[in-house]
Structure 1
Amino acid sequence: MATIKILPHAAYCPEGASLEVPAGTSICEALLDNNIKIEHACDMSCACTTCHVIVREGFNSLNASEEEEDDLLDRAWGLEPQSRLSCQAIVAQTDLVVEIPKYSINHAKENH
């Protein structure tokens, strides 16, 4: 088990959270399983950037990103070197600190 500390986010997790997560779980699954309703417009199929997160601690313990994820991340709002698509980032045994960016690029939600 690993602990994921979620930093406060006004819309998804105003108080922040601390989650106990089994290894092998994606960050997105962990958030959703704990009632943190992060966007995931493509149903976690690595086809959008709505579940983009920034891993502030524990980044190197995650599985390596693949080219498809890296290409999509180039379009994410607020991209940082420790950005991942939460649907593709698999938790290991190391504790994580995760920040959900303030915005996401979700045309369906924004009515574009």
Structure 2
Amino acid sequence: MPIVKVLPHPDLCPEGASFDVKKGKSLVDALLANGIEIEHACEKVCACATCHVHIRQGKNSVKEADDEEEDELDNAWGLDPDSRLACCVKLGEVDLVVELPKHTRNLAREH
């Protein structure tokens, strides 16, 4: 099973986290299942950019972003070459190191 390491985030994960994830599971579901309350305003269907993450290590092991994801990423805050939408990332065999952005452009949180 791959391991997802989440770098510290002041609000969502102050101490960072590390957990095993079943291959094929989406990154957003893995984060939520492990207590990291990442936003997902579109119900995880790649229709917003609120689950934006930076994959700092292991990004070559996941499928590249398709055109739909690339279009949505244009709406993300703090976009960089490591940016992905967590709802579109399916875990493979390789461990990932993920950084959560400091801000989001979501105007209304889910909860």
**Shorter-chain TM-score: which interval?**
over 0.9
| Residue 100 of structure 1, CA deviation | 0.3
Provide the aligned C-alpha RMSD in A. 0.7
1:47 equivalent to 2:47? Answer yes
Identity %: 53
Amino acid in the other structure paired with 1:7: L
Q: Which residue of 1 aligns with 2:70?
A: 70
Q: Which residue of 2 aligns with 1:100?
A: 100
Q: Which residue of 1 aligns with 2:59?
A: 59
Superposed CA offset, 1:45-102 (max 9, x none):
1000000000000001011211010001011000010100000011101001000000
Stretches of structure 1 lacking an aligned partner (at least 5 in a row): none
* Number of residue pairs aligned between Structure 1 and Structure 2: 109
Supply the distance in 2 between the matched residues of 1:108 and 1:4 (Cα, whole angstroms). 27
| Residue 19 of structure 1, CA deviation | 1.0
**Which consecutive aligned stretches of 4+ in structure 1 deviate over 3 angstroms post-superposition?**
none
**What's the TM-score once normalised by structure 2's chain length?**
0.95
1:85 equivalent to 2:48? Answer no
Supply the distance in 1 between the matched residues of 2:36 and 2:18 (Cα, whole angstroms). 11
**What's the TM-score once normalised by structure 1's chain length?**
0.95
Stretches of structure 2 lacking an aligned partner (at least 5 in a row): none
